[in-house]
Amino acid sequence: MTGRLKGKKALITGAGGALGSSIARTFADEGVECLALVDIAEDSLASVAQELDNRGAELIAARLDITDGDAFDSLVTDVVERFSGVDIMVNNAGGISPNARIHNLSTQDWVDCLSVNLTGTFHGIRAGVRAMRGRGGGSIINTASVAGLTAWPYCAPYSAAKAGIVHLTRVAALEYVKDGVRVNCVCPGAFPSTLTRNLVDGALNVIEARHPGGLGTAADLVGAFTYLASDESRWTTGHALVVDGGYSLP
Ligand SMILES: NC(=O)c1ccc[n+]([C@@H]2O[C@H](COP(=O)([O-])OP(=O)(O)OC[C@H]3O[C@@H](n4cnc5c(N)ncnc54)[C@H](O)[C@@H]3O)[C@@H](O)[C@H]2O)c1
């Protein structure tokens, strides 16, 4: 432990998943004082909470569907009350389905994917800003994707939602810079998780071949989140930090 997040209070969505749980472990190791773990999947959430129990941080584990804006606000209000504030909000929950070309997508497919990835992130930014403004500010970190910077066939709604997150991050950063609220995003390349297991057969091999440095792991990404969460990045806002083993270079 190096204490880069000593004394800070953080909330992470998608904390039961591959990347979210790695971020949670690292934040705990970096000395975060309070940690709210949030996910729609109660089983994986409970197992991450159990693992992090007695690691020094005060913990909350809460089920939340990030597509429900009122529930998101209410949860963040409870967390702020319990922890006496929140300094770091990681809007990381997301999902890639459906995998199909545009002519095979229903309107509902489109709405559902945008709802989780883009609207869910909007809800998180809004709740985070409401909690941090007038309380000394904080750092909001959104999980976008290289799919939001380059075109991903068979993933139009996901790709569009992640591009939306990159731009939403920039707008939010400008709107709240004077309030001391920094808003950045991380654009990961591909790494194995439940999300990649849900890709159509063979798709991950094609994606892997496009990564000059090979596929990553969740552990390869956590440094970017720690940097953006810590005071080391205090003059960085509106940034899309690409961590992709060279995927987006050619
Ligand atoms: N795995 C990759 O290759 C990759 C690449 C780029 C970006 N990402 C992004 O990384 C983030 C984490 O994904 P991961 O790869 O760890 O996948 P994951 O499936 O392991 O984790 C995603 C988590 O989000 C939760 N979630 C989904 N919908 C939710 C909802 N409506 N409300 C609350 N929680 C919800 C899931 O239960 C799950 O625990 C996502 O935003 C994803 O789009 C992943």
Q: Mind listing the pLDDT tens digit for each residue in 87-111?
A: 999 999 999 988 899 999 999 999 9
Q: Is 59 helix (H, G, I), strand (E, B) or coil?
A: strand
pLDDT at 72: 98
pLDDT at 197: 87
Binding-site residues, ligand 1, Cβ < 6 A: 13-14, 16-20, 39-41, 44, 64-67, 92-95, 116, 120, 143, 145, 188, 190-191, 193-196
Residue whose CA is at the smallest distance from ligand 1 atom 36: 14
Ligand 1 centroid vs 195 CA: distance in angstroms? 6
pLDDT at 199: 85
> 22, 25, 39: which to mutate for ligand 1, most atoms within 8 A of CB?
39
Residue whose CA is at the smallest distance from ligand 1 atom 7: 145
Q: Mind listing the pLDDT tens digit for each residue in 160-201?
A: 999 999 999 999 999 999 999 999 999 999 999 999 988 888
pLDDT at 1: 53
Contact 40, 20 (CB under 8 A): no
| Catalytic (active site) residue 227 | no
Can you tell me the distance from the alpha carbon of 136 to that of 142, in angstroms, rounded to the nearest whole number?
20
Q: In what side-by-side order are the strands of the sheet with 88-91? A: 58-63, 34-39, 9-13, 88-91, 138-143, 181-188, 240-243
Residue 139 has pLDDT above 70, yes or no: yes
Quick check: pTM over 0.95? Answer: yes
Q: Mind listing the pLDDT tens digit for each residue in 51-85?
A: 999 999 999 999 999 999 999 999 999 999 999 99
Instruction: Categorize the per-residue pLDDT at 124 as very low, low, confident or very high, splitting at 50, 70 and 90.
Output: very high
- List, as one string, the DSSP characters of 114-154: HIIIIIHHHHHHHHHHHHHTTTT-EEEEEE--GGGTS--TT
> 11, 12, 19, 89: which to mutate for ligand 1, most atoms within 8 A of CB?
19
Strand partners, 241: 186
- List, as one string, the DSSP characters of 75-87: HHHHHHHHHT--S
Distance of CA 239 to the CA centre of its chain: 14
Locate the ligand 1 atom nearest the alpha carbon of residue 191 and give its number: 3
Residue whose CA is at the smallest distance from ligand 1 atom 21: 17
Architecture of domain 9-189+217-236: 3-Layer(aba) Sandwich (3.40)
